[in-house]
Structure 1
Amino acid sequence: MKRFRGWALGLLSLTLGLLLTTVVASASYLHTATSFTQQSVNEGDVLVVLVPEDAGGVRVSGWSDATTDHVKRAMAAADFEGKAQQRVEILAPADLMFARLVLLGVGNPADLPRYVAEEMGAALAAHIQGSKAESIVIDSRLVTNPGVNADVVSAIAHGVELRSYRFDRYKSEPAERPGQRYQWVVSNASAAERAYNQLNALAQGVFIARELTNLPGSDGYPAAFAEYARQQLEPLGVVVTILDREQIRELGMGSLLSVSEGSQHKSHLLVAHYKNSDDERPIALVGKGNTFDTGGYNLKTNAASILRMQTDKAGGAAVVGAVKALAGQQAPVNVVGVVPLSLNMISGEATLPGDVVVAGDGTTIEVANTDAEGRLILADGIWYAREHLDARVIADIATLTGAKVGALGTQYSAIFSDHDDILATLREAGELTRERVWQLPLDGYEDVVRSRIADMKNTGSPGAQAGAIFLRHFAGDTPWVHIDMAGSALIDSASGIHPEGATGYGVRMLTEWVKIYSRQH
């Protein structure tokens, strides 16, 4: 067995002790380091100066006239005005103990959107990683308002970290991870560090979601996913409960149970509860955790499609990541994450097309297509959040339908709800984090999941609406929203705040939405 860096292999006995499989241990996500100071730092490999658009020239404390003149001429040659995302680089700047000087425009800092600052940090990280620089000093003192300074600095640092993540646990000789030391010269070190710590907790949530999504099907199966999440969440004060196949069966959740019956890795239900408020009833986040999707007997026959099916657990990963982020931020919320976990395979025990299963609420479901398994497991997850956790609102998130990608592409997630307040707060969270959402209609589609032989079936047309109509049934009278994030779980090449691979999409939006919704309700 190969030795993989940064993680260990353990053994888990399943199926009466006859089957031994590997359990994935936690990985180290970053090698970069971040610190804050109010003192000038006069040497390093790269000096970055944040320049507002109205700075009226660039002169930093301690610079000589020769340095200032060199910078002035370079700015003029590059038409650099300090507009947001403008960047100019000066090699061997006069009289400075740095090999490179980078001027980074921040526009009007008070109006700089958080997501733009994060994109700037990601672009800076990618630029730096293309050099041999190890020590990077970022001087932000031209952004003079202390509160604005802290917000801008923390958002740029957040972007640096998000871009610097690497998934390399399966590389026998992995390339060196980005290992730069970032020193931030700020106007108020304690304020900047507080703002940074909040976004660093958010980044840690994104990283666990990326890690879980990236895991191959044979390593990220239901029990392993649940155990990995437990190890990450319990040290933060999150109460974690993991239900196995027999407990799921005893609760009558036959819809969830049915999807994994063809696999040696049976269905599980992960429940992660973080309570740090006086709210008696929790906000519930329910994420699809289908750890690999062959399609079952409605087998996926496209090689490129099935190769990406470890990402079918990205909704569940986003829920775990959001709970981790909120706990790491010590946010004043009562939130519970529910992740129904399955592995959709083919065997003599697998569910057949046309079979009828019974969900936890007693609804009978005709399995018209075994490849529409996500809504089968989410149905029991949503019902569990309503019936056993007394959720005051439920948001489910899933890589659910190709129809959503056909309708909206990957720039927006589709959202479905009958509740205007939920829709408005989700839009706000989406705009803040640039994980944007667009409402699709429910009205008029009530009959698309009608079955001839059961209460309902798990398919219908149009596909995105059919999935949403199906799931709405299991929320009952509880306020509910469905988020179809299909197409957003994985990218083939680095872009913006994302390195190649799993994006961790949904963590940032859900984290902000829980806080916004909690404040308003």
Structure 2
Amino acid sequence: MHTRQIPIQLFDAPVETFSGDLLIYFVEEDAPVTTECNEDLCRFLLQIRDLGDFKGAREEVFLMYPGLISGGGEGLSHAKRLLFVGLGKKSEASNTRREQLRLSAGTAAKQAGVLKAKDVLVVLPKDYQLDTSDIAECVSEGLLLGSYKFDVYKSPKEDAAAVMRVEQFLLGADHSESREAHRGLERGRILAEAVNAARDMANQPGNGWTPSDFADYAQKLAEKLPLQCEILDSVDLEELKMGGILGVNQGSALPPYLIVLEYQTSKADPTILLVGKGLTFDSGGICTKPSAGMEDMKYDMCGGAAVLTAMQAIAEIGITGVNVVGLIPATENLSGSAALKPGDVIRHYGGKTSEIINTDAEGRLILADALAYGIERYKPQAVVDLATLTGAVVIGLGHHYTGLLTNNDQLAAQLTEAGARVNEPLWRLPLGPEYRKQIDSKVADIKNAGSDRSAGTITAASYLQEFVGEIPWAHLDIAGTAWDFTEKSYVPKGPSGTGVRTLVAWLELRQPLESADSGH
């Protein structure tokens, strides 16, 4: 199912000895020529700067062939090709510098692909105001995320050279800093491979990634990583009276599942609950979506993919001081003969009833069951759910920010900081009793959509809030960022894998939370 993972490792010899396909240096705009370069290379770099051919502007590139230079270019490099990549202007903000590295590494990966380079050595910049481990992590992320391609359904081309890809990335670092560089490289690799796995899941068509594929992937993770897996099938869901998941599933021929993954450190550590919407295809049910663009509804499981692969990264990294539980309610939403109808009433886990106003407002139904169940069973210190929940968030924020709604100011600040660190920005929207009134029902405890389209993202979150009580909780509406996220060198068109790195960053940055407050 997954695209090929490109190996990445440290280069354990002097950079000057590298004779492979492509050697890459990063250069800051208007900054002194860095000490990574030897004397001849520095002189050449100064010359092309003076000529105005390369300034080191953000993602600017300059390619040269040392072997074609008079004298063989031996003083410049033994590599077949030499590439300078611009980092842009110097910034004092650490998050900006991290993003500069990712962008430049993504540009380097794209150039390597164009050049059909097999062996690529990237020299880590020095004196960059970040720790060596941070530098190596961001460069590794940029290289591997920027190299991502999904072509598993493409027929092999006759011209084998046309599909050549990088066979390995190498990172060059000072020997004295190799331990830190290796630590950052490994972390960057783990995060990038998790994000790329989430992208793969989303890129699969509805008949290529089904609810059972979520279950199978989780079970395989538990076989190779320190994770415990439990799969609740339709019989279990019936016994637990999870009317939200079962109701949405009624129109599908494929059975639903609730996937449970547990990462345990110590009983003394707090538990964090992550919940991801796993709607593997959403037709809208009886309230059918317009046919134009419906093929994109294979992406409605991106929240589930983010939680599943975040659990993968958490276990591989070995995060300490916290227990993490991931829940993915997985089903399709189709319009079979038994499908939910507008006006039907369902009963969620725990007993709360809901009037179905719109069968296309289904994500909140499956998340509600998972939230209520996970909170009752695991008693977490905090809960975060991710979902491609509403088109309204795209109208409000476009494809540049994830919508954040929460009952806790501290949690909002922590998640916003984590998103800024990995450049997956969040924008907080309000919650409150005024919005809650919009989902009052005359025949049930609540209804699954407001009477009009106003504040659609907020009323959807208000629905979820009914099932979390006083637990600090945050809802991330990734409908605008899970695919067609702001395109950049390491984020392709289509699925972005957003949320994975934010969750991991938050779990490492997080501080204890007070009880839920009134929200924003």
TM-score, length-scaled by structure 2: 0.88
SS of alignment partner, residue 206 of structure 1: helix
What RMSD, in angstroms, separates the aligned Cα atoms of the two structures? 2.5
Cα offset, 1:464, TM superposition: 0.8
Cα offset, 1:104, TM superposition: 3.1
Mapping for residues 54-453 of structure 1, pairs under 5 Å: 56-57=32-33, 63-64=39-40, 67-78=41-52, 80=54, 82=56, 85-92=59-66, 94-95=73-74, 96-106=77-87, 108=90, 111=94, 113-140=97-124, 143-144=126-127, 148-173=131-156, 176=163, 178-187=165-174, 188-304=177-293, 306-332=294-320, 333-443=322-432, 444-453=434-443
Letter in 1 for 2:52: A
Cα offset, 1:133, TM superposition: 2.1
More deviation, 351-360/107-116: 107-116
* Structure 1 unaligned regions, length at least 5: 1-25
In the alignment, the residues of structure 2 paired with residue 146 and residue 438 of structure 1 have an alpha-carbon distance, to the nearest angstrom, of 28
**Corresponding residue for residue 5 of structure 2:** 30
In the alignment, the residues of structure 1 paired with residue 379 and residue 223 of structure 2 have an alpha-carbon distance, to the nearest angstrom, of 22
In the alignment, the residues of structure 1 paired with residue 111 and residue 64 of structure 2 have an alpha-carbon distance, to the nearest angstrom, of 14
Letter in 2 for 1:212: M
* Structure 2 unaligned regions, length at least 5: 515-520
In the alignment, the residues of structure 1 paired with residue 42 and residue 383 of structure 2 have an alpha-carbon distance, to the nearest angstrom, of 57
**Corresponding residue for residue 512 of structure 1:** 505
1:39 and 2:28 are equivalent in the alignment:
no
Q: 1:486 to 1:68 in 2, by over 3 A?
A: closer
Q: 1:274 to 1:518 in 2, by over 3 A?
A: farther
Letter in 2 for 1:44: G
1:393-431 superposed Cα distances (whole Å, 9 cap, x missing partner): 111110011111111111111111121010000100110
TM-score, length-scaled by structure 1: 0.88
Q: 1:87 to 1:202 in 2, by over 3 A?
A: same
More deviation, 355-364/170-179: 170-179
Letter in 2 for 1:203: A
In the alignment, the residues of structure 2 paired with residue 492 and residue 425 of structure 1 have an alpha-carbon distance, to the nearest angstrom, of 22
Cα offset, 1:465, TM superposition: 1.1
In the alignment, the residues of structure 1 paired with residue 513 and residue 57 of structure 2 have an alpha-carbon distance, to the nearest angstrom, of 35
Cα offset, 1:38, TM superposition: 5.3
Q: 1:492 to 1:302 in 2, by over 3 A?
A: farther
SS of alignment partner, residue 44 of structure 1: coil
In the alignment, the residues of structure 1 paired with residue 52 and residue 266 of structure 2 have an alpha-carbon distance, to the nearest angstrom, of 52
Query: Could you tell me whether the CA contact under 8 Å between 1:207 and 1:321 is conserved in 2?
Result: no
Query: Could you tell me whether the CA contact under 8 Å between 1:75 and 1:88 is conserved in 2?
Result: no
Letter in 1 for 2:97: P
Letter in 2 for 1:312: D
Letter in 1 for 2:62: V
Cα offset, 1:206, TM superposition: 0.7
SS of alignment partner, residue 303 of structure 1: coil
Query: Could you tell me whether the CA contact under 8 Å between 1:414 and 1:484 is conserved in 2?
Result: yes
Number of residues of Structure 1 aligned to a counterpart in Structure 2 = 492
Q: 1:224 to 1:86 in 2, by over 3 A?
A: closer
Query: Identity across aligned pairs (percent)?
Result: 33
